[in-house]
Amino acid sequence: MISSNRWRPVAQAWLLSVLLLGWVGADQSVHAESAAFAAAKRLGPGMNLGNGLEAPREGDWGIVLDKADFAVIAAAGFRHIRLPVRWSGNAEQAPPYTIDPDFVERVDWAIDHARRHGLAVVLDVHHYQEAMADPSSHRARLMALWDQIARHYASAPDDLYFEILNEPNRAMDDVWNEVLAENLAVIRQSNPTRPVVVGPRGNNSMDELDALELPDDPNLIVTVHNYKPLEFSHQGAVWVEGADAWLGRVWQGTPDEQAELIERFEAVDAWAREHRVPIYLGEFGAIAKADMASRWRWTNFVRNQAERRGWAWAYWEFRSGFGAFDLSEGRWNPLLSALMPGAPG
């Protein structure tokens, strides 16, 4: 019989090497995670500059971006803007799908003014409706758009974030994981470490996170949107069939109403912990056709639920149909105190 003492030094050395390798691996994992989490934390509270650059043409939906927008948002304490952009409506239909240089210059202008006021920017591809309806005919074009966008901003500071596609839906749902991965690969050719925002199918629905397949990338932030209950947040919305029947719906913040939202937020939080990724609540908002008292209660509650879980967020939106800023009066409406308690009005 061989004495076990003979092998004790070898076993001890082997165990030490395993522990050291495990520590190094864990340290690398924590470092990789911290990059995405630090990027999400840097976003903090934000505001969507909606209905401007994602309209068919800027101004078509009543909003033309103004340099004062950025000053007002920053002065209220917001730390970033989400900039929805309809790149697909400002690019050639045939290869190489060149984006209109004048439009790129306008986007540059918006990013520059955000940065002048210390605001980070989440830059997305918004309202690419043709791709939602027929993704196979538009996959090459979407990749070409992202190749141009990514290369154009390759030298920009890391406070510029990319979001691959706002609210994938309809036919895009079936191929979304493939489309996400191929466009991320395009972005990584010129922007290897830039923070990139991705979300689930079904209009970035919280209910679709289990269907989301995340590429192996340490700089991903996962976005979800919340407009629940839709009958409240979208009452009277002209683009939602049957929404007029919801007019007059209120949100009182009853225990049952709160529990419905808490359950959804807790499910997202559990998924995020399991997948070790940060969450960004990229859109939430209530239409101006709802009464202000209900809008205030709902907005304050949703914002609080996001912040309690450490999520960055961006309200939808600044000064249009869901707006927190009253364009006609040139001042914030009461929603500012729901979003930024203690902020100057």
What are the catalytic residues?
Answer: 167, 283
| Rounded-to-integer distance, Cα 99 and Cα 90, Å | 6
Token digits for 76?
């209220």
Chain centre distance of CA 142? 18
**Cis status of the peptide bond prior to 317, with omega within 30 of 0:** yes
Rg of the Cα trace of the chain? 23
CA torsion, points 189, 83, 107, 143, in degrees to nearest 10? 30
Helices (H) and strands (E) in the chain, counts: 11, 10
The region, left, alpha or beta by phi > 0 then psi within -120 to 50, assigned to residue 296 is alpha
Task: Name the residue type at position 148.
Answer: Q
Q: Give, in degrees to the nearest 5, the angle at Cα 195 between 262 and 87.
A: 95
| Rounded-to-integer distance, Cα 128 and Cα 168, Å | 9
Longest dimension (CA), the chain: 92
Token digits for 186?
């395009």
